[in-house]
Amino acid sequence: MRRFVTYFILVPLAIIGVVLAVANRHFVTLSFDPFNTVSPAFSVSVPLFVLLFATLAIGVLIGGFAAWIRQGHWRRQARQEHVEAERLRREVERRREIPVSPALSSRDAA
């Protein structure tokens, strides 16, 4: 399944990304001053594909962080269950070390 995803989804996406980068290699000006468009206080000239890929990377990071935050409940529950499993494992080992006395038969009880 992983090979399918790699060959049939990720490889075409990588090819599209390279084509996009080649087609959009012209420089654009990114301005961080919305009030002064003639001579902005801070602006950067970068190729358009760099701007697009940086935006994509920032979106992936923000999405990953949001998913990580949302899964906090499940990570906490997994930690608690791991602690409980370890406690039960130690208890089983401790009980295995206790010698078992032979059970009384019904004839001995009478």
Report d(CA 87, CA 90) in Å as an integer: 5
Residue 68 has pLDDT above 70, yes or no: yes
Report d(CA 105, CA 107) in Å as an integer: 5
- Single pTM value for the model: 0.63
| Half-sphere CA count of 37, side-chain side, radius 13 A | 0
pLDDT in tens, 56-65: 999 999 999 9
Radius of gyration of the chain (CA): 31
pLDDT in tens, 83-106: 999 999 999 999 988 887 776 655
Q: How confident is the model at residue 107 (pLDDT cuts 50, 70, 90)?
A: low
25 with 49: CB under 8 angstroms?
Answer: yes
